[in-house]
Each structure stands twice: as structure tokens, then as C-alpha cells.
Structure 1
């Protein structure tokens, strides 16, 4: 989120997500809205969520959808590894090897990864930390998915996450809160912070696109009965905070809060006096 001062930066990037967390907690966790919405998707006669039985929907939204975050993480990891290769090549000391890499078009790739080592490492760490945070919360709240509970034909009791939360040990076998599939889409927010580092004019589009992807992933699982809607919101909040803290560690606040180049260029144009022809 683009800001112009430290206080606005912290308010926008920490305050808004925390305010959203309070709203989600009061609106969903303290009410029956989640259950009421899932009831609309459940067939009480057949005791199933109809979309959970559609093979193509499952493959499209759960299997194939993983390609985007999975490939992003893999590319970032490969880039991070390759970023250490170019200094080892050292074309000045090994001109033949350097010449070979230039001829086979590998040298530009190695130079690029070396120049952007911090960015590749940030994406790798951000993905890993986000995944770790979500898995920690799943294990330490032990919430079962709607389809597994007695509310929708399952055998386990419906329990809210705050009733089961254990900080220092696993709370049980449930692994449904927050939404894991949604978090996979939300982890693409790591690319937004890379874009902010370089003040890319389309950084906001990356942010909104990542948020949309996470909500699509999460909603698909809600339709299948494997999550409540609030699980998606919680996943987005935790992933945002994890990415933000990781970005602050890698890039620092000053770099992240600078305006995008497009806005800066416009401001400079307005500030310049017009010269009469």
C-alpha cells in the first residue's frame, strides 16, 4: 500500500489488516454467518456439497490452481541458487568459460539473477514464512473443515479456532483454519513487495491481483465444503502480515514507502515551471 510518511505507512500496512482482523472476528467468528452461508451450498437431502463431487471443478480449482504459486516459488528458488553462480564463474579469471556462457545465452540469465539475488531470496523466504505461519496456526487451533463436522454429515464437532488455540503445543488433528489453499494464492503478495522496492507503476495491480487470486482459491474450497468463508479472510490477513514483516527485514521501510515512479514523474512535471515558446 503506497504511502508518503512513516506513520501513514504503518497505519496502512499494519493498521488496516489488524482492523480487518477485528471486523472478521466480530462479524464471522462471533456469529453464525459462516454456517449460514455454507448452509446455502449444502444439499441436506443427499448430505453433500454438490460441487465437492464434481471432478473437473476439483481438478481446476484445487489441483491446477496450485501451478501459479508453485511455479513462482520454484522459479524464485532456482533464481536464488543461480544468483551465486556468476561470481564463481568470474569471466575475468575464466575467459573461456565466460565466453561459452555468452555464446549459449546463459550469461545474461546468470547476471540477472546475481543482480536480483536479494529479490529472489526474499520471495523464497516470504513463501516459506507464509507457509510456516499458516501451518503453525492450523496445528495449534485444530479446526475441522465443515464437511468433516456433524453440521454437514461428518463425525466431528464444530469448534471455533479461539476455543482450541494452544500456543506451545499442537491442539489436535484438525487442519482447516486458516485456509491453506487460499494462502497459496495470497503468497503471491510477495511479488507486490518486490514491485514496491523498484517503485514499479503497476505494483498496485500486482497487489490487487494477488488478493483476488487468494479469494478465488479460498472461495472455491468454500463452495466444496472444505472451508468457511472467514478462513479465507484470515489467511489473507496472516499472509499479508508475514510478507510485510519479511519485506521490512529484506528491504527496509524507507525503500517500501517511496512513491511509485509514475507518481514521482507526474509530481516533477507539475513542479517544473512552464517555459513560454
Structure 2
């Protein structure tokens, strides 16, 4: 039974993203679907992507949108640092400091950070590893953005990532594959694995919300001509694998595969019989 559970866990969490990778490669990288989709948002008369020149659209979808993953990462770093503070405050040695922290409501925050140190550290590492993987792939594939290619009025010839890929050295100046902005949204998948650790019954909502955020981030850049749609899919695949492997290192498979806790309905709880009740 345990081996079956292990097989199912790996089949779902590794098998699905790897299957998606094959589909994306065959459907997008070996066809012209990416270009056909981007053509829908390109104005051949002005040789521009009109939405790329709408400053409000750029500000909302690219500048302001960064707040969500950036603040999440910063909170995780602060929480990780604070988590080391509370255990160093001994009641017998620092009673006045502890009393002061209790009075200003800081002590509960420090206790919470200390209790969830592993979670804060996991988010920090998952964000860092995901970002590192994306930056590595960008540098070692040297793919230029659509708007930079001759297809859309640029100066660089369009090439797919596998045509330039170099494992050990930087392949060139292109930095467009996978989607960096999309990966910022997908890094929120780290919170899904934290939710799974605690078997939170809304963990799937966190999963779907993180995926939706990544696709929204990626699609808005496609509309502006700065990415192809496949770049978003690839970003999601690599970030998922990075977060998953990091979660396995921090929490272990057994914890992550446990079923989520279900809400207990009061109507389903059996009430004890009354003392004065008689059998019918």
C-alpha cells in the first residue's frame, strides 16, 4: 500500500508536468502556433504591439503586479530571520524583555515565526531556486523576445530555445525563455506546498490561484509582444518542479502526500442519547 501511494505521488507530481512539457514542445516549439497567436496582437501597419505603448497597462500588469511575489518573498525572509530570535530569549534571563515584547504584541509574532521557521525558510529557498533555474535557462538558451525579432520589426532572427541551448556556458545575449514575469507569479506555488504540509483543506485553492496568477502575468506580456505563450507554459513547468523538489527536501514525501483535512459538519456528528429517553 505504501509503495502504491509513493508511485501515485510521483506519477501525479512529476508525471503531469513532464507530460505537459512534451505537449508544449510538440504543440508550440515544433509549430508556428506561438507566432500565429502573437500575430493577433501585432499591428503590421505601425509594426508595433499597441498594448506595449499603453503605460497604464504596463504599470498595472508588469510594475504593480510584482508586488505580490516580491512582498511574499520579503515577508518570508523577515519571518525566517525573526524565527531565530525568540528561542534565544530565556524566561529566567530576559523576563523584562519578554514582558515588554508581550506588552507591545511583538511576542506572538516572534513565537509564530519560531514555530514556522521551516516554512519561512522553505519559501525563501523555493523562491531563490525557482528564480535561479529561470535565470540559468534564460542565459543558456539565448532566446530573444518576439518584439526583438525580424518577425515583428526587430533585428534578431527568431530561434527556438533548443537551437541555442548550451549546458555549460552562456549561449548569447537573449534573455526571453522561459517567461520571467510569469515565473514570478508561479513562484507562489511554494505556498501550495506549505498548505499541503499542514493538510489545509483550501490548499487546492492556493494551487489554482498560483497557477492563475502565473498565467495572467505571462499572458499580459504576450499581449505586449515581449513573450510567446509557450514561454509561460515552460516557466510554470520549471517553477513547479523547482518548488516540488525543494518541498521534498524540506518536508518529505510522506508529509506532502497526506490527504487534506475535511471540514467536519456539525450535522454529521452523532449526538449522545438523552438520559431520560426510552427505546421505542
TM-score greater than 0.5 by the shorter chain? yes
Provide the residue aligned with 1:34 in structure 2: 34
Assess, with a 3 A threshold, how the Cα gap between structure 1 residues 274 and 98 changes in structure 2: closer, same or farther: closer
Structure 2 CA distance for aligned equivalents of residues 92 and 235 of structure 1: 51
Q: Offset at 1:91?
A: 2.6
Provide the residue aligned with 1:147 in structure 2: 147
- Match status 1:226 vs 2:226: yes
- Structure 2 unmatched ranges of 5 or more: 274-278
Structure 2 CA distance for aligned equivalents of residues 34 and 157 of structure 1: 15
Provide the residue aligned with 1:107 in structure 2: 107
Q: Which runs of 4+ in 1 moved over 6 A?
A: 272-277
Provide the residue aligned with 1:195 in structure 2: 195
8 Å CA contact 1:164–1:171 kept in 2: the answer is yes
Q: Offset at 1:92?
A: 2.8
- Match status 1:214 vs 2:222: no
Structure 2 CA distance for aligned equivalents of residues 193 and 18 of structure 1: 19
Q: Show the 5 A alignment for 1:77-156.
A: 77-156=77-156
Provide the residue aligned with 1:61 in structure 2: 61
Provide the residue aligned with 1:13 in structure 2: 13
TM-score of the aligned structures, taking structure 2 as reference length: 0.93
Structure 2 CA distance for aligned equivalents of residues 245 and 274 of structure 1: 45
Count of residue pairs brought into register by the alignment: 270
Q: Offset at 1:273?
A: 9.3
User: Which of these two proteins has the greater Rg computed from alpha carbons?
Assistant: 2
Provide the residue aligned with 1:173 in structure 2: 173
Q: Give the CA RMSD over aligned residues.
A: 1.8
CA deviations 1:91-129 (Å, max 9, x no partner) are 332101111111111100000000000000000000000
Provide the residue aligned with 2:276 in structure 1: none
Provide the residue aligned with 1:261 in structure 2: 261
CA deviations 1:31-85 (Å, max 9, x no partner) are 0000001111100000000000000000000000000000000000000000000
Provide the residue aligned with 1:74 in structure 2: 74
Structure 1 CA distance for aligned equivalents of residues 28 and 91 of structure 2: 60
Assess, with a 3 A threshold, how the Cα gap between structure 1 residues 273 and 103 changes in structure 2: closer, same or farther: closer
Structure 1 CA distance for aligned equivalents of residues 194 and 94 of structure 2: 33
CA deviations 1:130-151 (Å, max 9, x no partner) are 0000000000000000000000
8 Å CA contact 1:91–1:97 kept in 2: the answer is no
CA deviations 1:199-250 (Å, max 9, x no partner) are 0000000000000000000000000000000000000000000000000000
8 Å CA contact 1:192–1:203 kept in 2: the answer is yes
Structure 1 CA distance for aligned equivalents of residues 49 and 133 of structure 2: 29
Structure 2 CA distance for aligned equivalents of residues 13 and 99 of structure 1: 46
Structure 2 CA distance for aligned equivalents of residues 140 and 274 of structure 1: 65
- Structure 1 unmatched ranges of 5 or more: none
Provide the residue aligned with 2:45 in structure 1: 45
TM-score of the aligned structures, taking structure 1 as reference length: 0.94
Secondary structure of 1:123's aligned partner: helix
